[in-house]
Amino acid sequence: MEENKSAGQLLNEKLTYKSKNIWENSNEDEKKLAFQFCEGYKQFLDRAKTEREFTSEAVRKAEENGFISIDSLELEAKLKPGAKVYQVNRNKSIILGVIGRSGLETGVNIVGAHIDSPRVDLKQNPIYEDTGMVLLKTHYYGGIKKYQWVTIPLAMHGVIVKTAGEIVDVKIGEDESDPVFTITDLLPHLAQDQMQKKMMDAITGEGLNILTGSIPSEDDKVKERVKFNILKILNERYKITEEDFISAELEIVPAFKAKDVGIDRSFVGAYGQDDRVCSYGALDAILQVNNVEKTAVCYLSDKEEVGSMGNTGAQSAFLENFLAKLMYIGNKKYNDIMLRSCLSKSKMLSADVNSGVDPNYEGVQDKRNASFMGKGLVLQKYTGSRGKVGGSEANAEFIAELRKIFNANNIIWQTGEIGKVDLGGGGTIAQFLANIGVEVIDCGVAVLSMHSPFEITSKIDIYIMNKAYKVFYQEMK
């Protein structure tokens, strides 16, 4: 009871920083909204397990919401405040924008996330036959714990591009009637040597071969009849030959669907939530932006899990090229100084996940500075490891601005860092945008089992994160 508190207690409450559990601080309506939002999220996850699928789903949703491709616009076109545009980069990355009332030279508000996730990629010459079985060679992508990827049902997603330019879409293992793939593991009875090994060596990268078939072709004059049979099936189904795999991008991902986790259904369990949880939240937020002072931009990038390299990663010129074209369309007196000014006055939430405290693995975090499931949006001032090396650090001035707008709009947030100082760490896309002058902070939700085939997030955190991104677009000056 308020009146029974001593003056000291009341002052102490005022002076002390405490994070809040959102479930405790939400009413029934908000909880319902959080659950509803996550129904849409789970369905989206099942449709968008790869960066290409995310991009095409994002285009579909963008067009449904009145966005037009800037590649379809003439340079002579005019864009009024409120106009909604998007641009796709090589089918793997997309930027969406809603034109604000003030000119682009005054900076834009960006929410940036990545839409690639750790997985297992097929090699370019993958198919081989051994002991009457056909397997596919792979090279994993991003930071996986290899032992997590054996003995689970796997699906194949991706494209095979033929020399005539035709793109064959492949998706096997998602339909109830589809077969799935798997990587086998050794039976415990024979695993004495394997079990003595370090976890990182027990399953090797070169050993992640995908079980794919075992029926030999009837023609016994052919060598490797099982492989021949598989090639025949592929040729009938996709009109491809073995050489076509060399110009293919085929990704092996878990075959299971997103699920509620827990008797109270408070968590979402799914593959690829790093970083589709924030990507989805950011995409949903920009789709709802209508009338903003600063131009709102949603940047969904590829290749973050391997360092944001290449022309689809956040180290590419994609964002600058997009803004340059937008500026030229808005003002035909466009010059480079205007673009540089736009970048250095822009602000960005690097929307990525944080490692939540896990009661099963307590020793790895400083609980005073770690993020917790259900305690809201995570504001992570810095990334990097062992002396903040290799990361990006947000400026205190920017964090103060964010605290102000989030506190004023009932966004429950917490601070976070990846783990104990000398233990390890990581980076996000933040540093690459910071390098070109943008004010950036890492800002997303806490995750358990990050980079595993089945990552865990809290529904209430997801709901708050989406709300926070909308507030950022509306309120950030």
Name the site residues for Mn ion (rule: CB under 5 A): 274-275, 352
Q: Which amino acid is at 61?
A: K
Q: Which is nearer to Mn ion, 52 or 114 (CB)?
A: 114
Local structure of residue 246 (DSSP, 8 states): G
Q: Which residue has the tokens 């937020």?
A: 285
CB of 64 vs Mn ion, minimal distance in Å: 27
Element (H, E) at 110: strand 108-114
CB of 115 vs Mn ion, minimal distance in Å: 10
Residues 6+ apart with CB under 8 A from 285: 111, 298, 466, 469, 470, 472, 473
Cross-strand pairs, 329: none
CB of 304 vs Mn ion, minimal distance in Å: 6
Measured at the CA of 325, the angle between CA 323 and CA 331, to 5 degrees, comes to 95
For 205, other C-beta atoms within 10 Å of its C-beta total: 11
CA distance 104 to 342: 6
Cross-strand pairs, 458: 267
Local structure of residue 166 (DSSP, 8 states): P
CB of 353 vs Mn ion, minimal distance in Å: 5
Q: Which is nearer to Mn ion, 128 or 382 (CB)?
A: 382
Q: Which is nearer to Mn ion, 81 or 142 (CB)?
A: 142
CB contact at 8 A, 333 and 105: no
Q: Which is nearer to Mn ion, 160 or 252 (CB)?
A: 252
CB contact at 8 A, 269 and 261: yes
- Parallel, antiparallel, or unpaired: how do β-strands 439-444 and 377-380 relate? antiparallel
Q: Which is nearer to Mn ion, 262 or 307 (CB)?
A: 307
CB of 54 vs Mn ion, minimal distance in Å: 13
CB of 458 vs Mn ion, minimal distance in Å: 17
Q: Which is nearer to Mn ion, 274 or 461 (CB)?
A: 274
Q: Which is nearer to Mn ion, 295 or 392 (CB)?
A: 392
Q: What six digits make up the tokens of 61?
A: 């949703």
Local structure of residue 256 (DSSP, 8 states): P
Give the nearest residue (CB) to Mn ion. 275
Q: Which is nearer to Mn ion, 275 or 475 (CB)?
A: 275
Local structure of residue 426 (DSSP, 8 states): B
CB of 314 vs Mn ion, minimal distance in Å: 11
- Quick one: the chain helix, strand, coil %, rounded to 5? 35, 25, 40
CA distance 142 to 129: 27
CB of 270 vs Mn ion, minimal distance in Å: 14
